[in-house]
Structure 1
Amino acid sequence: MQGRQEPRDRPFNQYPADFNGTGKQRAIPRRPPNMARIDHPPVTVRVARPQREAPRQRSWRRRILFWGIVFVVAGALACGIGYTAVNFFAATNATAGAAVTATDFLSALSSQNYDQAYNDLDATITVQLAPDDFKQQAQASDRCYGKVTDYSEVQDSAVQNNPKSYSYNFTITRNKLTKPYTLHMTVQQNSYGDWRISSYGNNNDLGPGQPPCS
């Protein structure tokens, strides 16, 4: 069928002149004479993906040295604390043992149990004083000054002479005296670990000293 030729039947390389708005065909731009001809696209430089840094291996020597120091310090602290605790409890037990002996001695005198009081004496006294001699001394003090009715340790009077020796002052009340007097005692630990009285009063005298017993 022949008729009006449609635009789709036009040749591919022919374009209407009114496309550019001037009624003329557009001129093809010329390449500048100094421009290099590029036959292939430029090569794109690829940047490598950053690699993860491998974790550093811990030095076993450093770890062993660190824990070694920790154990040494902990052991030293434990030994120091243990040594302090042992000395503390030893000193506490020593003070308690010496005080118990001194109190037992005065308790035996107040009940006129002279044999028991003699058993609390140290060998430094008993080598020179027989049991009967001590009994006579105690009975003489009771007759002269009266029976021991009360006794108490003077506050803060305990003194540590050395690790195996303590001194005490006791206030003694007797029923024939108008006022109490102070009796000084020294208690020491013997080779068996027992606490015994090594001295009492003025030259091992159970009385006040003054006035003298008549």
Structure 2
Amino acid sequence: MEKLLLQIQKNCVSGIILLLPLVVFFMILEKVWGFFQKYGDKFSQFLRLDKVLGPIASDVMGGVFLLVLIYFSGYLMQFSFLKRFTEWVDNKLMVFLPGYEKNKKLAEEKLAKEMGKPITDLPILLKAGEYWQPAHLIEENAAGNAVVFVPVAPSKDQGQIYIVSASDIKRLPDTTLGSLNESIKSMGKGILDFK
């Protein structure tokens, strides 16, 4: 009986860990879509599209506004000030939204696959002699070489860049960059649990 209760407790905790990021993501998505739908509704009434398309006119115009905003945001990312600001916001979201970094990583990987780009800046372990060192995989080529960045603890932004054989790296697909960086900041605490 005690074993059954422990299993039920474990499943409930696992379920909460799985559902919490999804619930937060869909709540944010609902708020964002509601914002664009509200202005899409006003614009569709202004252009009299609501008479032609009916109630979906607000969705259509909201989608158009969202696509235009995404396009211009991508254009503005060419400016370094906005890129630094976006990275700052991204770091804050990773702190305050559980599961944000993992969902972002999955989205980036999916987008990279669809666009045919190699996935970069991944957490890895680099074989250095008899030991493994935490590092970031920056890029790889078809010749079997890889560029890696090895941070110097406790700073995640300072370190060395090496060109190594791809056979000397061990990928950590279940580990996020944030987890790796936190571990480096805390002098390696938690690295043994990385997979």
Please state which band the TM-score falls in when normalised by the shorter chain. under 0.3
Query: Based on CA coordinates, which of the two structures has the bigger radius of gyration?
Result: 1
Higher helix proportion (structure 1 or 2): 2
